[in-house]
Amino acid sequence: MSDMNENTNPMSVAEPLQPAESAATWLDAVNQAAETAAADVTAASSDLYAAAQQAQAPAAAPNNVFTLPTIEEPARPQSARAAAAPTASYDVTSDDKLMAALSWLGMVLLQIPLVSIVLLLAEGNKDRPFQRHHALQSIGLFVAAIAYEFVAAILFTVGSVVTLGCGALFLWVLFFVPHIMAVYYAWQAYQGKEINIPVVSQVMRQQGWLR
């Protein structure tokens, strides 16, 4: 019986593991796990680098892009006031401004364009474009004012008769319209600006008297 028990008892048959073999097996498992982790880290690093390169690359423009057409703003016409007093394109001195203004004020004070005639005949003044411009314009206004005074006299007489003299209290202003215009143009000339008299300047340019 003792022999049979020794042969059938598994505890007595199995031999205990040697410590050296257990340590070697454990080291092999650790090395395999480390190699696997290193491979995973390398693959993840490659994926991150590729994603970073793709993010830095400029996005390709689409082939079909709808763009709104540009509409150019049309040129705005100059206002009537700007057209009435353009700035001279040539050199204008302080003497030019003074003499041009005197050509208008002389007509108001003397009732004749005497200063303008002198400017057109004087050797040192007739070659100055700014002085010549205002001298010619003042003479043109003087001629137009003669015809205007006749029309104003007719309107004043008719208006006074129709209103039994009451209209004369207001219609007398009609006779001073050319004087008011001359004073205004004198101020424009002193500011170094050219002027355009309605109708008068256009007629003078058509006749070649004014540039």
| Rounded CA separation 126/131 (Å) | 7
The domains of the chain are located at 19-53, 88-206
Instruction: Convert the pLDDT of each residue in 48-87 to its tens digit.
Output: 667 667 766 555 444 555 555 556 555 555 444 434 455 5
Contact 153, 201 (CB under 8 A): no
Contact 132, 126 (CB under 8 A): yes
Question: What integer is the mean pLDDT of 19-40?
Answer: 67
User: For position 15, what pLDDT does the model report?
Assistant: 47
User: For position 17, what pLDDT does the model report?
Assistant: 46
User: For position 138, what pLDDT does the model report?
Assistant: 95
High-pLDDT (> 70) share of the chain, %: 63
pTM for the model stands at 0.56
| Rounded CA separation 151/12 (Å) | 152
DSSP annotation of 116 reads H
Instruction: Convert the pLDDT of each residue in 96-131 to its tens digit.
Output: 999 999 999 999 999 899 999 999 999 888 889 999
User: For position 91, what pLDDT does the model report?
Assistant: 86
Question: What integer is the mean pLDDT of 166-194?
Answer: 92
Question: What integer is the mean pLDDT of 20-47?
Answer: 68
**Mean of per-residue pLDDT scores for the chain:** 77
| Rounded CA separation 50/54 (Å) | 6
